[in-house]
Chains A and B, each alone.
Chain A
Amino acid sequence: MDDTFWLMLGWAGIYAPLSLGAIGSILGCSAAGQAACGAMLDVETGYGRLVGLSALPSSQTIYGIVVMLSLNRPVTVEVAPGLFAIGVMCGVALLFSAWYQGQCCASAVHATKNKPEIFGLSAAPAAIVEGFAVFAFIFALIIAVGLPVPGAV
């Protein structure tokens, strides 16, 4: 197979954590943000924490940036499969965690609106989902250390 194909996969792997994480954050923040806007129509106070909850899924983009920087290196045929595998798998995990975290946040907004005293507890499911994104992020960094850096002494 042409080397170009493998090089393309390598570059895709480097950029995947950021792009897929960002897509997840877009979906998650959009869902939670829309719920926050709706809830603001029905409550008189506490707008700030509703908007704050809806911003939770943005952290996956930050994790994606860090993983992308840790994977960033000269791409060769030898290193490209590893970059692709780590980058894409980590990106997919970040995408789904942000997306579903957004839905958790939307539900938390909805629940908090009707019962403000459960604000902290209602955010717990979103925090648990965040935990899985952190796992994917940390272990991507650890695994990435094992990838060779072409040209390095």
Chain B
Amino acid sequence: MTHSRSYYTLVASLPALPSRFDAGRVPISWPTLRDRLRMLELPDAKVTRQIGRFFLWARQSLDQTDAQVIERYHELMRHTPNSLVRHLIHSRTESRLLISAVRRHRMGLGPPDWSLRAGTDDPLVSHLKKNWSEPNFSLGARYRWMEAFVKHYDQGDMRMAQWVTFNERWRDWTRIAERYNFTFEAVIVYLVRWEIVDRWTSQNAEVGKARFANLIKETLGEYAESR
């Protein structure tokens, strides 16, 4: 158990997030949020940067292998004493790897061979190997979002598949948010929830842009293509 610093000014300066991640816009832009995060003490700022590098899609290197992601996961878990941050790293990596398992399965590949437990067999991977041909790998009871995710994935509706994972994550972290007030954990929980809203709304912007481009193309026809 580590001592957690209090961040009254920082937490009170953050605007409330919407009650649903898909029901509004991001209440604070990333540049402003980054400015506010300068109030974090150095060790906490370092932890925040590390988990940001690990999770934020915009900061992901496209050519990193599964092994590199797992190695980074182990490194972060070794150096992170904060139990909430450890929970964040573990739960996000686990759900990311489950999604990767669904993709592997649909691509006709075998079960993954990574392990989230350093030096030992991962019980989750062992379970996947045993239940590779079962619907939802027989994990539907443990991971309630799996069934809906797989259904939308198989229908090719990636947006709804992502909504399912975001919704599950949002519910979990909204519940966790009720436990913390003005500590570093409250900042972490806010960032996790902010990232969900940000990713969902920015995805909407991309969909909007694509729809706008299609409309232009339909309206202007060949002229649009020649431009």
Please measure, in the bound complex, the distance between the C-alpha atom of A103 and the C-alpha atom of B180, giving whole angstroms.
12
Q: Classify the interface of chain A: helix, strand, loop or mixed.
A: helix
Q: Which of A31, A41, A106, A107 contacts B13 (CB 8 A)?
A: A41
Contact assessment for B14 and A34 in the assembled complex, using a CB-CB cutoff below 8 Å: no
A28-85: which residues lie under 8 A (CB-CB) from chain B? 31-32, 34-39, 41-42
Count, chain A residues at interface, CB 8 A: 17
B10 on the A face (CB < 8 A)? yes
B174 to chain A, nearest CB (A): 15
Q: How far is the CA of A89 from the CA of B45 in the complex (A)?
A: 40
Interface check B181, CB cutoff 8 A: yes
Query: With A31-B8, A106-B8 in contact, do A39 and B13 touch (Cβ < 8 Å)?
Result: yes
In whole Å, how far is B69's beta carbon from the nearest beta carbon of chain A?
Answer: 36
Cβ A109 vs Cβ B16 within 8 A = no
- Contact present for A38 and B13 (CB under 8 Å): yes
Task: Give the residue name and chain of the B residue nearest to A37 (CB).
Answer: B9
Q: Which residues of A contact B9 (CB under 8 A)?
A: 34-35, 37-38, 41
User: Is the beta-carbon distance between B36 and A34 smaller than 8 angstroms?
Assistant: no
Given contacts A31-B182, A107-B181, A36 and B12 within 8 Å (CB-CB) = yes
**Which B residues touch A39, using CB under 8 A?**
12-13
Mark contacts of B173-193 with chain A using CB atoms, 8 A cut-off: 1 yes-contact digit, 0 otherwise: 000000001100000000000
A-B pairs with beta carbons under 8 A, tally: 46
Interface residues on B, range: 10 to 19
For residue A37, which residues in chain B have a CB less than 8 angstroms away from its CB? 9, 12-13
| Chain A residues positioned under 8 Å from B182 (CB to CB) | 31, 35, 103, 106
| Residues from 64 to 82 in B contacting A, C-beta threshold 8 Å | none
Question: Which residues between 1 and 28 of chain B lie within 8 Å of chain A, taking CB atoms?
Answer: 6, 8-16
Of A31, A35, A36, A109, chain B has the most CB atoms within 10 Å of the CB of: A35
Residues A38 and B11 in contact in the complex (CB < 8 Å), given A31-B182, A106-B182: yes
Q: How far is the CA of A125 from the CA of B15 in the complex (A)?
A: 22
Q: Is the CB of B12 within 8 A of A31?
A: no
Question: Is there an interface contact between A34 and B181, defined as CB atoms closer than 8 Å?
Answer: no
Q: Which of B51-98 contact A (CB under 8 A)?
A: none
Residues on A with beta carbons closer than 8 Å to the beta carbon of B181: 103, 106-107, 110
Nearest A residue to B36 by beta-carbon distance? A41
Contacts of A109 in B (CB 8 A): 12
List the 4 closest A-B pairs by CB distance, nearest first: A38-B12, A34-B8, A38-B13, A38-B9
List 18 other contacts, CB 8 Å, given A31-B8, A38-B12.
A31-B182, A34-B12, A35-B182, A38-B8, A38-B9, A38-B13, A39-B12, A39-B13, A41-B9, A41-B13, A42-B12, A42-B13, A103-B181, A106-B8, A106-B181, A106-B182, A107-B181, A110-B12
